[in-house]
Amino acid sequence: MKYGEEILKEDMNNDAVQELQLRLSGFNGGAPDGDFGSGTTKQVKQFQKDFMKLDDPDGVVDKATFDAIDQFARQYTVPFDLLRCKCKVCTGFGRGLFKGEYRTEKSHIEAYHKYEYPGIHRMLLWAYRAVLHYHPNYTFTINSGYRCSEDNKQHGRKSTNHCGKAIDLDVPRSTGETERDDNARCNAIRASIVEKCNAQIGWASSNKKSLEPENIAPTWVHYDVRNFVAKYLEDHFFCKTAEELDNITPITVNAGTPGVAATTPTRTTPTTVDGTVLASKLNVRAKPQSNGALLGQVSKDEIVKVSENKNGWCLIEYRGKQAYVSARFLRLQSI
């Protein structure tokens, strides 16, 4: 099944999970290994809490979460015009030269790999979106995107990390701001990226997103994926256009709840079934809508009697009255 065609949750392991991990890289992401473990659940919950503003994030990628990820992409557009190489020789993202070749005086590690990757790493650009999300008050620009071997020659540079594996972010100074202010802001942004996006300052660990330390990047933020192992730097991870980056495909997953057959999104029965509360606290409302009057809450593992499950809301009996809870946070007994 492709990304968007089935609910993704813990213990799954497939390409759709890898795509999910990549898109949520900026929310405490790690290596895109395709394995939905507790780290990925944490990633999804952080996205559900911080972007979707859910009180009870469940870490399950259902239709609403898939839709929110598409919305996240639309909200934070990536400026490919600023990412393109400025050499005027290549077409914007190198010429595919030097695969498997390393800077002569250096050891054969990725940091010295001269390969002009075919675009910018998608995970890095999705992670950039999260940086924008977590800093709504700053206006970011990208002051270095792709720098091919020709561009390096024109500027007398040796570093090859901007051949698709790095971007430099910058918040332009406002009037009256000093270099010291700029430096302090960049340090604060780095600290936030470490906390929210699971990046590291420097390159101690493999498979972690990296930030250049302050002494190398005093007044800008250099963000890279050069410490990822080769299988996460294969050509297919790189993109040259917004379409390739977003790769928006139809979300066809059924909006049904776990435990309810996916082919029956609507179920009306005269009798009741038991629903087990999955969220730590689940709001009970007077109407089947998120702004319906709040009647109270039920707690994790409590059992509620569900008499109807329709459009994502379950009709339950609560303190002797009819009330509604979101179906996403109930596991319904199968009947």
Binding footprint of Zn ion on the chain (CB under 5 A): 85, 87, 90, 148, 150-151, 166, 168, 222
Residues 39, 197: Cα–Cα separation, whole Å: 12
Q: Which is nearer to Zn ion, 3 or 223 (CB)?
A: 223
Q: What 3-state DSSP class applies to 153?
A: helix
Distance in angstroms (rounded) separating the CA atoms of residues 38 and 20? 14
Q: Which CB atom, from 31 or from 169, has the smaller least distance to Zn ion?
A: 169
Neighbouring C-alpha atoms within 13 Å toward the C-beta of 231? 5
CB of 65 to Zn ion, least distance (A): 33
Q: Rounded distance, CA 67 to CA 54, Å?
A: 14
282 has which bridge partners?
A: 298
Measured from the CB atom, the residue of 142 and 166 that comes closer to Zn ion is 166
In this complex, which beta carbon is closest to Zn ion, that of residue 61 or of residue 90? 90
Cα 328 to its chain centre, rounded Å, is 21
**Beta strands per DSSP E along 46-174:** 120-121, 141-144, 166-170
Closer to Zn ion by CB, 110 or 151: give it.
151
Question: Minimal distance in Å, beta carbon 274 to Zn ion?
Answer: 56
Give the pair of three-digit tokens for residue 272.
């009741």
- Give the nearest distance from C-beta 238 to Zn ion in angstroms: 15
Neighbours of 194 (CB within 10 A): 15
Q: Minimum distance between the CB of residue 96 and Zn ion, rounded to whole angstroms?
A: 11
Least Cβ distance, residue 168 to Zn ion (angstroms) = 4
